[in-house]
Amino acid sequence: MAKHVTLQSADTIKEIVSAVSSASDELSRLSLEIFNNPETRFEEFKACALLSNWLESRGWKVRRGVYGLKTAFEAKFSVLDGGRTVCFNAEYDALPGLGHACGHNLIAISSLASAISLEHVLREHHLPGTIVVMGTPGEESGGGKWIMAKNGAWKEFDACVMTHGMRDFSTPLCLTKASWKVTARFKGLAAHAATAPWKGLNACDAIVHAYAAISMLRQHLEKGSSIQGCILEAGKASNIIPDYAEGLFSIRAPTMQKLEELKSRFEPIFGAAGAATGCSVELDWTALYEDVVSNDTLAEQYRNYMIQHLGMEPEQLPTLEESRVLYDQPGCSDFGSCTYICPGIQAMFSIEATDFPHSIGFREASCGKFAHKEALRAGQANALISLDILTNDEFAEGVKEEFIEAMKNAGRWKE
């Protein structure tokens, strides 16, 4: 890597930094408004209106309820026609019962910081290119970006970047696993369990059979893959043959290719359990989280700006190689779906929380001054690498080449 090390001029970097600094109070107001009005997946009406109205009032073209989700929006800005397109994702959903314990209010304003500082540069220098802010709801358990991707989002963009807060470390990389959830519903036939059991088809037996077979499969999973699950319903009384049973399962693997392989061994279990018991089965696959295919050229450049111009010490921001070892696959993010459509990164910034995301400690830090400052700094770095995409042909080409290569390796490249 490190082929494309040309950075923006010191003057341009200063412009980006000061555009973000002068919007800091306003961005803090937006962040706290989202934080103090937590809305869970697909119910983020206030946050969607807040952010999209704010961009619209600055002259951005806004469409709401896009790509299959009521609380999604797409805002676009350009000064001149033509040129390349860069996108910043803004998340704003909270966790049930915990509020903004994943800090998505910070992701929203980090992306706004990137967007409006780039807006400033395009206006000042009369540059071509389009900036997009994509409002992406339902990251928590909803797989919102997967739904938006299926409905055509992020096509034709040259890059899409975003950020995420982290407990006490920063990294230019976010490597996550692929995961997929399935609800299995077995239907049998009720009968008196003592008087006429031969007339029944036992749905409880079917799901127990499936659960046992899954437990056997677990021994043969590759490193990094896993299956979790639970039985939600399996009958109501001991003297009735249960005619309905339901279970919820998640499969996880390091990449989409590995996840598809796992799915091909996992899925037939349910048919077999149905056949063994005479029950019918219905599988409902929802909320696919594709793994994040991080673009090293973008991530390397993010680190260059952070260390050379935005005041980060090298030891505060590990190299890509170090990050791969230290922070390998912490969880899942629906941002993965974007990275199978266009090049992208989701850099992580420390918010100095006492605990990991989805905890009270993380929530408390997500509305603090330190987190705000770091969200804006990450936004500045993302603005600069995105400006590189818009103005530096060699850099944009390098990013694209790497993306094409990665998609070919993943079996996902379409000419």
Give the whole-angstrom CA distance, residue 201 versus residue 383.
Answer: 61
Q: Which of 75, 145, 83, 110 is nearest to 339 (CA)?
A: 145
Q: CB of 140: closest distance to Zn ion in angstroms?
A: 5
Q: CB of 26: closest distance to Zn ion in angstroms?
A: 23
Q: Tell me how far apart the terminal alpha carbons of the chain are, to the nearest angstrom.
A: 25
Piece in contact with Zn ion (CB under 5 A), picked from 25-33, 102-110, 119-127, 339-347: 102-110
Q: Which is nearer to Zn ion, 102 or 273 (CB)?
A: 102
Q: CB of 187: closest distance to Zn ion in angstroms?
A: 34
Q: Could you tell me which residues are beta bridge partners of residue 88?
A: 133, 161
Q: Which is nearer to Zn ion, 120 or 164 (CB)?
A: 164
Q: CB of 323: closest distance to Zn ion in angstroms?
A: 18
- Phi, psi angle pair for 333, to nearest 5°: -145, 135
Piece in contact with Zn ion (CB under 5 A), picked from 101-109, 208-216, 263-271, 379-387: 101-109
Q: Which of 63, 56, 68 is nearest to 137 (CA)?
A: 68
* Beta-sheet pairing, 80-90 with 61-64: unpaired
Q: Which residues, at least 6 apart from 372, have a Cβ–Cβ distance to it below 8 Å?
A: 24, 27, 28, 31, 106, 109
Token pair, residue 274, equals 């149905």
Give the whole-angstrom CA distance, residue 248 versus residue 180.
Answer: 11
Q: CB of 256: closest distance to Zn ion in angstroms?
A: 20
Piece in contact with Zn ion (CB under 5 A), picked from 61-69, 96-104, 198-206, 208-216: 96-104
Site string for Zn ion, 121-160 (x = CB under 5 A): ----------------------------------------
Q: CB of 369: closest distance to Zn ion in angstroms?
A: 20
Piece in contact with Zn ion (CB under 5 A), picked from 98-106, 231-239, 241-249, 291-299: 98-106
Q: Which is nearer to Zn ion, 119 or 140 (CB)?
A: 140
**Residues 196-220: b if buried by 16+ CB within 10 A, e if exposed:** eeeebbbbbbbbbbbbebbeeeeee
- Phi, psi angle pair for 226, to nearest 5°: -155, 160
Q: Which of 119, 172, 114 is nearest to 384 (CA)?
A: 114
Q: CB of 250: closest distance to Zn ion in angstroms?
A: 15
The single residue among 102, 118, 148, 287 that binds Zn ion, judged by CB under 5 A, is 102
Q: CB of 102: closest distance to Zn ion in angstroms?
A: 3
CB 128 within 8 A of CB 118: no
Piece in contact with Zn ion (CB under 5 A), picked from 34-42, 45-53, 99-107, 271-279: 99-107
CB 386 within 8 A of CB 394: no
332 is a contact residue toward Zn ion (CB under 5 A): no
Q: CB of 104: closest distance to Zn ion in angstroms?
A: 6
Q: Which is nearer to Zn ion, 39 or 205 (CB)?
A: 39
Give the binding-site size for Zn ion (rule: CB under 5 A). Answer: 1
Name the closest residue to Zn ion (Cβ). 102
Site string for Zn ion, 275-314 (x = CB under 5 A): ----------------------------------------
Residue with token string 């952010």: 51
> In this structure, which amino acid lies at residue 190?
A
Give the whole-angstrom CA distance, residue 284 versus residue 136.
Answer: 23
Which residues of the shown chain bind Zn ion in the complex (CB under 5 A)? 102
